[in-house]
A and B are shown apart, each in its own frame.
Chain A
Amino acid sequence: MIRAEGVGLHYGSSEDGADAAAPEVLQALSFSVPGGGWRWLLGPSGAGKSSLLRLLHVSARPTRGRLHLMGVDVGQARRRELPALRRRIGMVFQDFRLLAHLSVFDNVALPLRLAGRPEGQLRADVTEMLRWVGLSKVAAMRPTVLSGGEQQRAAIARAVIVRPLLLLADEPTGNLDDVQAERLMVLLREMNRLGTTVIVATHNMALVERHPGEALELARGRLVRDG
């Protein structure tokens, strides 16, 4: 599913997004995650968790090493091959990134529309997904009027509506109370049980202790724990 070999990443201001003089935020990462696996992504702020998630979400390409996602070499793949790869990856952002001009229904339906699903065939799936995350009653509302927990659930629904092979979550419980956080973990575990590879970045160690699992831990851009 995921295989990283000496992966490095540095940001820059040049056209191709990489500046050789910029310091590496990720350095020589090597790890692998099998299909259907679960990994916590741990480390203090600034350790590189979000940067690694950007690589895994194909929002950036490695500037060093090789990263294989679902059989695709992300660094070598043609640009036009990447949208199809991204549609097989679900991402839950810390700041949700729901589109404010769309209703909750349309936000959740967006990945299906991008995948070319006909309008007549997506209504049932979206309705079922909204029921699953408990947002049926607010389907017609704009995300801006929802609570933080409701927005988080809408973001999760959008991430899993296409049944992704890989689900990434960046601090998914950061804006939630304990009850909402536990409910979210149940959803993520359920996705994992159904076969989706799940990687959850967090610095909430209490949450990790309540839901033990294998972990990748970063410190200053380096991998210090794998397992």
Chain B
Amino acid sequence: MARVIAARRFDGLGLRHAPGWRILPLIVAAMTFLAALAIAGAQGAAELGRHWQQGAAATLTVQVPRPGTAPSPPVAAGETRRDRVAALLRGTPGIAAVRPLGDAELSDLLRPWLGSSAEQLALPLPAVIAVTVSGATGTVGGVDLAALAARLEATAPGTLVESHGIWVRRLALLADSLRLCALAALGLVAAVAGAVIVVATRAALASRRGVVETLHGLGATDFYVADRFARHACRAAALGGVAGLVLAVPVVVALTALAAPFVSPAPVEPGLPGWAELLATLPRLPPLLFWALPALPLSAAAIGYIAAQGAVRAWLRRLP
């Protein structure tokens, strides 16, 4: 074993002191840092998009017009059209909760558009009922919206059901676009890292040209020479990858802690998260980040090995 290690440590090309390698870990560290942020960004966009879609897809808004604004069947004494619609909704399978909005709540919703005197305008505002369905993400809980609308129309003509579908589609598109942008950034970072490694390898090759030609003349195979360069590039890239990851993890954890209130139903604490909250976030990192972030140094090492192998082999083809 010791002999094998000694053979592997034998630096026949003198690459330890070749120029180009020293700056490589710093550049790869920066690339790894950016890659970690891109992965976290893609994951965050996916989580936020999923959460927003769930929220939008799980709710319906039902508007019941005021009496007199539309023809209506007779209503029992003490019962309003809103109460009849709410009762029908509560009896519909797939609907988890039905909450008629009070006048004050409705005024609060309209205040941004109509001002503080909305209630004094004597507008025939419809009654609004917020409905929560119990379905899976992206559906409306198995509720047949067309059938429901027909039944509501029969009960209270002019009643509208809004399913928020357009917002669900737009949120999905936004989330997918953000994720694609983040993945494109990740690919770009990998390509730049590969290009930097090729440039560093060529610099090292230029400084060791005479040595490489001597080894070539002594019968060294292309693999022998390329493997020596690739191992050095691999080590330098792995070192940079680890350094970049060490720098990126606190940032990713902090961003995850800041984003947590937007993707979790847990109550939001006032103020910014402290160290304890940040540390508590660590085990709650999304599973994707748990394997994707540690894979970054490995990926950097692999890119280093492959890029250096390719660069050296291409250069060696000049020799017979």
Say if the beta carbon of B291 comes within 8 Å of chain A: no
CB distance from A219 to the nearest CB of B (A): 26
- A86 lies within 8 A of B318 (CB): no
- Is B219 a contact of A115 with CB atoms below 8 Å? yes
Decide if A91 touches B12 in the complex (CB within 8 Å). no
Contact of B217 among A91, A106, A120 (CB under 8 A): A91
A202 to chain B, nearest CB (A): 20
Minimum C-beta distance from A154 to chain B (A)? 13
How distant is A113 from chain B, measured CB to nearest CB, in Å?
A: 7
Cβ contact within 8 Å between A120 and B219: no
Q: Interface size (A, Cβ < 8 Å)? A: 31
A61-B320, A99-B12, A102-B12 given; A118·B3 CB < 8 A: yes
| CB closest residue in chain B, given A90 | B218
Residues of B within 8 A of A100 (CB): 14
Q: How far is the CB of A102 from chain B (nearest CB, A)?
A: 7
Contacts of A115 in B (CB 8 A): 219
Q: Do the beta carbons of A79 and B12 come within 8 Å of each other?
A: no
A110–B215 alpha-carbon span in the complex (Å): 8
Please name all residues of chain A whose beta carbon is closer than 8 Å to the beta carbon of B123 when the two chains form the complex.
none
Task: Establish whether residues B320 and A17, one from each chain, have CB atoms under 8 Å apart when the complex forms.
Answer: yes
A113 CB contacts on chain B under 8 angstroms:
7, 10, 12
- Report A223 CB to chain B, min CB distance, Å: 22
Complex: how many Å from CA A100 to CA B17?
13
Which stretch of A38-46, A52-60, A173-181, A189-197 is in the interface? A52-60
Check A209 for interface membership: any CB of B closer than 8 A. Answer: no
Contact status A111-B218, CB under 8 Å? yes
Chain B hits for A15, CB < 8 A: 318
Chain B residues within an 8 Å CB radius of A114: 215, 218-220, 224
Which interface residue of A60, A91, A102 has the most chain B CB atoms within 10 A?
Answer: A102
Interface size on B, residues (CB 8 A): 24
Give how many A-B residue pairs fall within 8 Å (CB-CB). 65
Q: Bound complex: CA of A114 vs CA of B7, how far in Å? A: 11
Inter-chain CA distance A17–B217, complex, in Å, is 16
Given A60-B320, A101-B14: A87 in contact with B219 (beta carbons within 8 A): yes
Chain A residues whose CB sits within 8 angstroms of the CB of B320 once the complex forms: 17, 58-61, 79, 82
Q: Mark A110-139, 1 if CB is under 8 A from B, else 0.
A: 110111001110000000000000000000
Q: Is A83 an interface residue (CB 8 A)?
A: yes
Complex-state Cα separation, A114 to B228, whole angstroms? 12
A225 at the interface (CB under 8 A from B): no
Q: Is A83 a contact partner of B220 (Cβ separation < 8 A)?
A: yes
Indicate whether B295 reaches chain A with its CB closer than 8 angstroms: no
Q: Which residue of the partner chain A has the closest CB to B224?
A: A114
Enumerate chain B residues within 8 angstroms of A101, measured Cβ to Cβ: 11, 14, 17, 211
Spell out A's residues near B (CB within 8 Å). 15, 17, 57-61, 79-80, 82-87, 91, 97, 99-102, 106, 110-111, 113-115, 118-120, 158
28 residue pairs of the A-B complex, CB under 8 angstroms, read A57-B217, A79-B317, A80-B222, A82-B320, A83-B221, A83-B222, A85-B219, A86-B217, A86-B218, A87-B218, A91-B217, A97-B210, A97-B214, A97-B217, A99-B211, A99-B214, A101-B14, A102-B12, A106-B12, A110-B12, A110-B218, A111-B218, A114-B218, A115-B219, A118-B3, A119-B7, A120-B3, A158-B218
Given contacts A99-B211, A101-B14, 13 further A-B contacts (CB under 8 A): A15-B318, A17-B318, A79-B317, A80-B221, A83-B220, A86-B216, A113-B7, A113-B10, A114-B219, A114-B224, A115-B219, A119-B4, A158-B218
Give B residues with C-beta under 8 Å from A: 3-4, 6-7, 10-12, 14, 17, 210-211, 214-222, 224, 317-318, 320
